[in-house]
C-alpha cells in the first residue's frame, strides 16, 4: 500500500468515525482500507450486502490500525438513512467524516434513458447526499466534522443522466460551504480521476461505441486523468487529514497525494522541464497576473452589496471555487515559486485554463453592460492582454 511504503502516520485519523457510502468495491473499498490504515472506525454503507461484507472481511483481516464496520443500506430510502443515523449515534455517539461516494451510472443518449433511470440517478447521486448531509449536519455542528462530495470528471455525452446530478452535487457542496462557514464543519468535493472500476469500464464501452470510436481511442483521450483505484481511494483519506486547506474547493485525489508528498510526479516533471522552460518569464507573467487579480479582489470588496454578491457568485460559478479561496491558492503558488518550488505550479494547467475562460466570460459580460464605447474598447484591450498572458502560461504547461 502506498501509505505503508511511505511510512504514512498510522494514527493520522485515530478513532475518527468515518461513514463512506458505496464503500463495498471500486474506489470505495480502497478508501475504506486507507481510512482503516490511519486508525479510523470506518462504516461502509452499501446496498450490496455481499460486496459490503466481503470488503469488511478483507480489510479487517489485514489487521490495520482502524476497523471496518458494515451497514447494509439503500441510500435512496429516507427511513433507512434514519436507521443508519441511529445506528451510528448509538454505537459511536458521533460522526466525524461523511464521504458521499456511492453512485449509479445510467448510460445512454438523453432521448433513450428512461425517466425512471433519471429518477433513480437523482435519488442515488444527488438526493441521498442531500439527505445524509441534512441528517448529520446538526450533530456535526456540535462536534465539528467533514462532509465530502464526489463529483465526476467532466460532462460526457451519453452519460447525462449521471453527470448532471454529479455537477449538482458539487454546486450543493459550494452553497453548503457558504452556509456552514464558522460552524467548524468543513466541506469540499474530491474527484477521484478516471479509475477502471467495473462501472467505469462498462460506461466507457458504451460511450466509445456511441461516439463511433474504439475504447482504446477513448482511453487515450482520458490519458491525463487515468489513475488507479488505490491512488483515488488514498486521496479521499489523505484529503481528510488535510481537510482545512481544501475547504470549499474542488480537488482531485492525485493532487492531494502530490500536496502531501506521497507522489512526486511533478518533481520529475519539473526536473525534466527545468532545462526547457524560461522560469524567469513564467514567474514574471504569473506575478503580473496575480497583481491584477489582487487589485480586482480589493476593488470587488468595495462594491455595493448587490453588485458585490453578483461578482463573487459569478466568480465562483465560473471558477468552481470562491474568490477568497482562489486568492489563497494564488498566494500559495506565489510563495512556492519565490522559493523556486515549481511542482504545484506546473501541475496547475487546469486552473490557468479556467482563469482564462473567466476573463473571456468577463469580456462577454462587458459587451452587455458597458455603454461607453471608449471605455468598452480600453477594458476589452486590458482583458485581452491578461488572456494573452494566461495563454502564454498555458502553452508552457
Ligand atoms: N471510476 C471512475 O473513473 C470515476 C470517475 C469520476 C468519479 N467517480 C465517482 O467515484 C465514486 C466511486 O466510483 P466507482 O467507480 O468506485 O463506483 P462503483 O460502481 O464501483 O461503486 C459504487 C458503489 O455504490 C454502491 N451503491 C449504488 N447504489 C447504492 C445505493 N442505493 N445505496 C448504497 N450503495 C449504493 C454500489 O453497490 C457500489 O458498491 C462514485 O461516486 C463515482 O461517481 C468515479
Of 102, 228, 231, the residue with max ligand 1 atoms within 8 A of its CB, to mutate for a pocket test, comes to 102
Mean per-residue pLDDT of the chain: 92
At which of 239, 259, 279 does a domain end? 259
pLDDT at 277 over 80: no
- Cβ neighbours for 94, distance < 8 A, ≥ 6 positions apart: 17, 88, 139, 143
pLDDT at 391 over 70: yes
Name which residue sits closest to atom 13 of ligand 1, judged by CA. 27
**8 and 87 housed in the same domain:** yes
Of 54, 124, 192, 206, the residue with max ligand 1 atoms within 8 A of its CB, to mutate for a pocket test, comes to 192
At which of 259, 274, 295 does a domain end? 259
Distance 266 CA to ligand 1 centre (A): 28
Question: Cell 438523453 belongs to which residue?
Answer: 110
What share of the chain has pLDDT > 70, as a percent? 96
Domains in the chain: how many in total? 2
**249 and 270 housed in the same domain:** no
Name which residue sits closest to atom 5 of ligand 1, judged by CA. 194
Residue 220 pLDDT: 80
**154 and 192 housed in the same domain:** yes
Of 23, 24, 26, the residue with max ligand 1 atoms within 8 A of its CB, to mutate for a pocket test, comes to 26
Beta strands 67-72 and 145-149, pairing class: unpaired
**249 and 333 housed in the same domain:** no
pLDDT at 274 over 60: no
Q: Is 378 left (phi over 0), alpha (psi -120 to 50) or beta?
A: alpha
**202 and 285 housed in the same domain:** no
C-alpha dihedral sign at 233, 234, 240, 242? negative
Residue 273 pLDDT: 53
Residue 154 pLDDT: 64
Q: What is the pLDDT of residues 145-197, one digit of tens each?
A: 999 999 986 667 899 999 999 999 999 999 999 899 899 999 999 999 999 99
Highest mean pLDDT (candidates 115-119, 193-197, 280-284, 307-311): 115-119
**205 and 348 housed in the same domain:** no
Q: What is the pLDDT of residues 323-375, one digit of tens each?
A: 998 999 999 999 999 998 888 898 888 889 889 989 998 998 888 888 899 99
Q: What is the pLDDT of residues 300-322, one digit of tens each?
A: 999 888 888 889 888 887 787 88
Residues 147 and 176: their CA atoms lie apart, in Å, by: 10
Check which CATH number belongs to the domain holding 25 and give it.
3.40.50.720
Residue 347 pLDDT: 84
Phi, psi of 274 (to 5 degrees): -50, -40
- Cβ neighbours for 258, distance < 8 A, ≥ 6 positions apart: 264, 265, 266, 343, 344, 347
Of 30, 44, 103, 207, the residue with max ligand 1 atoms within 8 A of its CB, to mutate for a pocket test, comes to 103
Name which residue sits closest to atom 7 of ligand 1, judged by CA. 152
At which of 259, 281, 310 does a domain end? 259
Name which residue sits closest to atom 4 of ligand 1, judged by CA. 194
Q: Which residues contact ligand 1 via a Cβ below 6 A? A: 21-22, 24-28, 46-48, 51, 73-76, 101-104, 124, 150, 152-153, 191-192, 194-195, 197, 199-200
> What domain range includes position 297?
266-396
Residues 167 and 261: their CA atoms lie apart, in Å, by: 29
**243 and 319 housed in the same domain:** no
Name which residue sits closest to atom 20 of ligand 1, judged by CA. 26
Distance 124 CA to ligand 1 centre (A): 10
**192 and 299 housed in the same domain:** no
Longest dimension (CA), the chain: 72
Of the pLDDT bands very low, low, confident and very high (cuts 50, 70, 90), residue 267 is very low
Distance 226 CA to ligand 1 centre (A): 16
Question: Cell 482511453 belongs to which residue?
Answer: 219
For the segment 102-129, the average pLDDT, to the nearest whole number, is 97
Q: What is the pLDDT of residues 73-87, one digit of tens each?
A: 999 999 999 999 999
**282 and 232 housed in the same domain:** no
Distance 269 CA to ligand 1 centre (A): 31
Residues 297 and 292: their CA atoms lie apart, in Å, by: 9
Residue 231 pLDDT: 95
Residue 155 pLDDT: 66
Name which residue sits closest to atom 14 of ligand 1, judged by CA. 26
Residues 51 and 58: their CA atoms lie apart, in Å, by: 10
Point out the ligand 1 atom lying closest to the alpha carbon of residue 150: 41
- Cβ neighbours for 7, distance < 8 A, ≥ 6 positions apart: none
C-alpha dihedral sign at 24, 28, 30, 32? negative
Of 50, 78, 199, 229, the residue with max ligand 1 atoms within 8 A of its CB, to mutate for a pocket test, comes to 199
The whole-model pTM stands at 0.76
DSSP 76: T
* Residue 137: other Cβ atoms inside 10 A: 19
Residue 355 pLDDT: 92
**381 and 243 housed in the same domain:** no
**40 and 23 housed in the same domain:** yes
**70 and 144 housed in the same domain:** yes
Amino acid at each position: 500500500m502506498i501509505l505503508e511504503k511511505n511510512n504514512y502516520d498510522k494514527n493520522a485519523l485515530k478513532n475518527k468515525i468515518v461513514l463512506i457510502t458505496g464503500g463495498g468495491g471500486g474506489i470505495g473499498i480502497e478508501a475504506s482500507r486507507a481510512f482503516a490504515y490511519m486508525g479510523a472506525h470506518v462504516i461502509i454503507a452499501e446496498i450490496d450486502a455481499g460486496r459490503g461484507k466481503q470488503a469488511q472481511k478483507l480489510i479487517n483481516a489485514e489487521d490495520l490500525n482502524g476497523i471496518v464496520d458494515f451497514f447494509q443500506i439503500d441510500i435512496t430510502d429516507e427511513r433507512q438513512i434514519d436507521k443508519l443515523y441511529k445506528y451510528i449515534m448509538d454505537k459511536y455517539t458521533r460522526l466525524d467524516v461523511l464521504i458521499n461516494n456511492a453512485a449509479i451510472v445510467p448510460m445512454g443518449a438523453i432521448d433513450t434513458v428512461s425517466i425512471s433511470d433519471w429518477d433513480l440517478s437523482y435519488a442515488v447521486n444527488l438526493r441521498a447526499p442531500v439527505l445524509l448531509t441534512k441528517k448529520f449536519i446538526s450533530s456535526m455542528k456540535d462536534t465539528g466534522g467533514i462532509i465530502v462530495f464526489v463529483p465526476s470528471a467532466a460532462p460526457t455525452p451519453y452519460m447525462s443522466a449521471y453527470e448532471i446530478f454529479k455537477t449538482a452535487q458539487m454546486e450543493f457542496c459550494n452553497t453548503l460551504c457558504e452556509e456552514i462557514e464558522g460552524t467548524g464543519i468543513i466541506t469540499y468535493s474530491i474527484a477521484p480521476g478516471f479509475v477502471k472500476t467495473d462501472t467505469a469500464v462498462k460506461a466507457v464501452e458504451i460511450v466509445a461505441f456511441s461516439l463511433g470510436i474504439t475504447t482504446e481511442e477513448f482511453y487515450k483521450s482520458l490519458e491525463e486523468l487515468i489513475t488507479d483505484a488505490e491512488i483515488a481511494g488514498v486521496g479521499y483519506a489523505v484529503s481528510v487529514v488535510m481537510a482545512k486547506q481544501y475547504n470549499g474547493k474542488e480537488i482531485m485525489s492525485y493532487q492531494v497525494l502530490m500536496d502531501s508528498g506521497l507522489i512526486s510526479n511533478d518533481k520529475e516533471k519539473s526536473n525534466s522541464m527545468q532545462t526547457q522552460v524560461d522560469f524567469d518569464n513564467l514567474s514574471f507573467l504569473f506575478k503580473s497576473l496575480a497583481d491584477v487579480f489582487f487589485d480586482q479582489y480589493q476593488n470587488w470588496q468595495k462594491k455595493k452589496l448587490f453588485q458585490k454578491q453578483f461578482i463573487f457568485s459569478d466568480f465562483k460559478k465560473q471558477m468552481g471555487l470562491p474568490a477568497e479561496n482562489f486568492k489563497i491558492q494564488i498566494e500559495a503558488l506565489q510563495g512556492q515559486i519565490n522559493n523556486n518550488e515549481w511542482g504545484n505550479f506546473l501541475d496547475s494547467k487546469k486552473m490557468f485554463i479556467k482563469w482564462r475562460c473567466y476573463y473571456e466570460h468577463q469580456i462577454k459580460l462587458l459587451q452587455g453592460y458597458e455603454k461607453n464605447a471608449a471605455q468598452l474598447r480600453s477594458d476589452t484591450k486590458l482583458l485581452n492582454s491578461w488572456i494573452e498572458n494566461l495563454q502564454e502560461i498555458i502553452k508552457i504547461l
